[in-house]
Structure 1
Amino acid sequence: MQHVTPATSLGSRDTRLRLAFVSAVVSLVAVFAAVGSTIPLFNIYRAEDGLTTAGISLTLVAYSAATLSTLLVLGRVSNHVGRRPTAIVSLGLLVLGCLLLLNVHDLGILLAGRFLMGLGAGLASSSLTAYIVDAAPTRPTWLASVASSQTVMLGLAVGAIASGALVQFGPWPRNFIYLIVVGLLLLSAALVAISSDTVTPAPGGWRSLRPSVRVPVRVRHLLPVAAAVFLATWATGAFYQTLVPALVEDQLHTNSPLVLGLVFAAYMGPSALGAPLGSRFPPATAQRIGMIAFLAGWIGVITAITTGALLLFIATTIVAGAAQGIAISAATRGLLYDSRLTDRAPIFAVVYLLSYSGATIPSLISAQLSSVFSVPHITLGYGALALIATLLTVIAARNPHAGTISQPSE
């Protein structure tokens, strides 16, 4: 395994390293704010451009397929070329995606824009999250895992709320949010450019492009439960992106873009609040608590959809969102246990491969089923997935082993 030499003493925690941490966090928020900004516009695209629920689901598939491909091929490249250049390229891809979405008039343009966003988000998912962990302060001890896992959710929530507000009340409802996000992405790139890198360039970059899935042996036993957590929670996030716009309009009787953004944020935003709560418990215990609460939230969501109760829907969505924060951060904390600098980008590549698989596969299935079953019926399938993941977590959750040798497993 190629070793990476720290470019800055991680023990000193000097001003430049703190700047790197802040820059990486701001950049990851910007990346996923860009991703979330499209969601409140989906109903406008449906109404004005004739897009269908199946077509909207395919946009998530295009986004996730690009992300998965990038993670498989480029998930380790920041170990060799550095965190900064990899992060700047990812931000550039998101800028291109936003610029393309300024001219959405058919499904093809929307698919292409989301595909570019997927490429950028995939590259950012491994490089920026590893950058955050590299540069994070040592105290509090939970900060690295919470910041790296929950900044994504925070960015999605911020992007959805800002987009919903600007679409409903701002000028140029189809475009203004993308211009704002482009500015945020360019600011993030500037911050990263003036920050110190946490790795120095090292040979082996071309070899790192060989598709690989790798985690250290000492945490390999944690992968089945972590996979269940990531798959179920990210499948739910995809549900809120692709099917909830139609549900909010058809079942809950509102077509407000701001309400749509708030509903999506009600799932993503509380995740960042739930994550520190889970840090009070060992990873296995926190995952069990999080997934049981997540299932309870899902039961409430299905009840709200059945009865058409918008307030109940939002309240139980908040419960599910906070619960996913507890479970996701605990799973991430377990996988990062005692990790070396060279472990982190591959670990996050695996985390996001599992996560985006959870977002992609159910979305692809639901897109095919949407012509046969109603959205409320498809919702029951997502609830069943949450039940299966919760049962597996309760039965099989384990803590990381201490004192084992850090060796990769392919």
Structure 2
Amino acid sequence: MSQTGRSRMQTPPADERIDSRGRSFAAAALAFAVVMLGTTLPTPLYAIYSEQLGFGVLTTTVIFAIYAAGVIFALIVFGRWSDVVGRRPLLLVGALLSAVSAVVFLTAGPVWQLMIGRILSGLSAGIYAGAATAAVIELAPPRWQGRAPAIATAANIGGLGMGPLIAGLLAQFAPAPLRLPFALDLVLLVPVLVGIWFITEPVDVRADAHLSLQRLSVPAEVRGVFLRAAIAAFAGFAVMGTFTGVTPSFVSQVLGISSHAVAGLLVAVLFLTSALTQIVGRSQPTERSLIVGCAILVVGMAVLVVGLLVASLVLLFIGAIISGVGQGLSFSKGLAAVVAAAPTNRRAEVTSTYFVVAYVAISIPIVGQGFAAAQWGLRTAGVGFNIAVGVLALIALVLTVVAVRSGRRPRQR
């Protein structure tokens, strides 16, 4: 048989390749959502853990901060690996780490075991932040390519939002509240692992490529844009951190509501609102949307402060919605501004630096809030924290307005 004949036999028809690409795209998006869902499953369960194991808000914040440390470690160490060895191996590793984390929580006893589970969960999230985002965009069929970044965002933030909602409902209305959510997570990870195994590898892996750490830096010409965008990102992720780590304690101790479903729903509202805002606002002008996002975040903080002072669940839900809109706009448009301003050959390191700043915001501040709660009470600590976040968002707002009015505009997307 001729070489041409063998090539024709080995090359699948065009429609078969498109179907395979569509399945790979769906598998990558599902994996992204399920892995991120697993990272926030413990959120409404912290109140139960603290009651059974006898620890307070400070320990809860430390457990949550350990997760953020795992994310940052994975971003730096594994951030570039999927470009070298391919997306598929990193997606498999991230999903397996998520499964091991679920097993650790499923069998959890002492506090140190919870910490190990959170470290593993953070590593899985850090790997997926880069590898899964790239895989979803690269594997999108032609008719979906324009919407692929929005789908990656929906899978990421939407998965984060569904975790506390599912765990809260199961903890409230089903048996074994500290076991069933993680058993369900393991069940969901089975089709994820099967799907990843069969996806088409979108990266042309080179045999001579070398693994390396992700460099973090901000070129001098980008620092002005980066500063105001990073301040906004820090503020927005600090809000996400406090909602994920401390909100269940707020609901039970400040509001006197013992419902795990309510605590999970309150956290989910913030994340899902953020995801929806990022998708809806993706075509809006970068600078104007960044200004509007920071302004909305300031308003959201004010509403949350009042909600804590008067112990109003309704105001906390309204504040969560407003803050989710502000966080979604300020973070996504801040990232767009940074990417647009960065030199093409240094976008990866600038973007990685931006994400590291964001994840630092869900580690150090929340531990500080835990210390403050131990000294002055949860309500006082929450009010002070939200005021500080509002001030940061206001600073980012002022810096952006001044930059726009003075004509120092970053290049538009």
Give the TM-score category using the shorter length: 0.7 to 0.9
Higher helix share: 2
Residue number among 301, 305, 308 corresponding to 2:304 in the alignment: 301
**Counterpart check, 1:254 vs 2:237:** no
Partner of residue 11, structure 2: none
CA 205–345 in structure 1, closer or farther in 2 if over 3 Å, else same: farther
Any gaps of 5 or more consecutive residues in structure 1?
Answer: 1-12, 404-410
Q: Are 1:271 and 1:321, in contact at CA under 8 Å, matched by a contact in 2?
A: yes
1:346 Cα deviation (Å)? 4.9
**Counterpart check, 1:228 vs 2:218:** no
Question: How far, CA to CA, are the matches of 1:144 and 1:343 in structure 2?
Answer: 23
Q: Aligned to 2:212, what secondary structure does the other structure show?
A: helix
CA 337–137 in structure 1, closer or farther in 2 if over 3 Å, else same: farther
Question: How far, CA to CA, are the matches of 1:149 and 1:89 in structure 2?
Answer: 21
Structure 1 stretch displaced more, 284-293 or 269-278: 269-278
**Counterpart check, 1:196 vs 2:200:** yes
Any gaps of 5 or more consecutive residues in structure 2?
Answer: 1-16
Residue number among 54, 57, 65 corresponding to 2:69 in the alignment: 65
Q: CA RMSD in A?
A: 2.8
Question: How far, CA to CA, are the matches of 1:171 and 1:273 in structure 2?
Answer: 32
1:224 Cα deviation (Å)? 1.7
**Counterpart check, 1:47 vs 2:57:** no
Partner of residue 128, structure 2: 124
Partner of residue 374, structure 2: 371
CA 61–252 in structure 1, closer or farther in 2 if over 3 Å, else same: same
The one-letter amino acid paired with 1:97 is: S
Question: How far, CA to CA, are the matches of 1:217 and 1:172 in structure 2?
Answer: 54
Partner of residue 318, structure 2: 315
Residue number among 138, 157, 170 corresponding to 1:153 in the alignment: 157
CA 260–289 in structure 1, closer or farther in 2 if over 3 Å, else same: same
1:133 Cα deviation (Å)? 2.9
TM-score by length of 1: 0.87
Q: Are 1:131 and 1:198, in contact at CA under 8 Å, matched by a contact in 2?
A: yes
Partner of residue 240, structure 2: 237
Question: How far, CA to CA, are the matches of 2:92 and 2:351 in structure 1?
Answer: 18
Pick the structure with greater CA Rg.
Answer: 2
CA 141–281 in structure 1, closer or farther in 2 if over 3 Å, else same: farther
1:18-29 matches, cutoff 5 A = 18-29=22-33
Partner of residue 411, structure 2: 401
Residue number among 16, 19, 22 corresponding to 2:20 in the alignment: 16
Identity among equivalent positions (%) equals 24
1:343 Cα deviation (Å)? 7.2
- Larger RCO (CA under 8 A, 6+ residues apart): 1
TM-score by length of 2: 0.86
Partner of residue 331, structure 2: 328
Question: How far, CA to CA, are the matches of 1:222 and 1:139 in structure 2?
Answer: 33
The number of residues matched between the two structures is 391
Q: Are 1:34 and 1:98, in contact at CA under 8 Å, matched by a contact in 2?
A: yes
Q: Are 1:234 and 1:355, in contact at CA under 8 Å, matched by a contact in 2?
A: yes
Partner of residue 283, structure 1: 286
Q: Are 1:20 and 1:135, in contact at CA under 8 Å, matched by a contact in 2?
A: yes
Any idea what the Cα deviations from partners look like across 1:331-364, whole Å, max 9, x if unmatched?
2333455999997765653343122111111022
Q: Aligned to 1:371, what secondary structure does the other structure show?
A: helix
Residue number among 23, 27, 31 corresponding to 2:35 in the alignment: 31
Q: Are 2:237 and 2:327, in contact at CA under 8 Å, matched by a contact in 1?
A: no
Q: Aligned to 1:359, what secondary structure does the other structure show?
A: coil
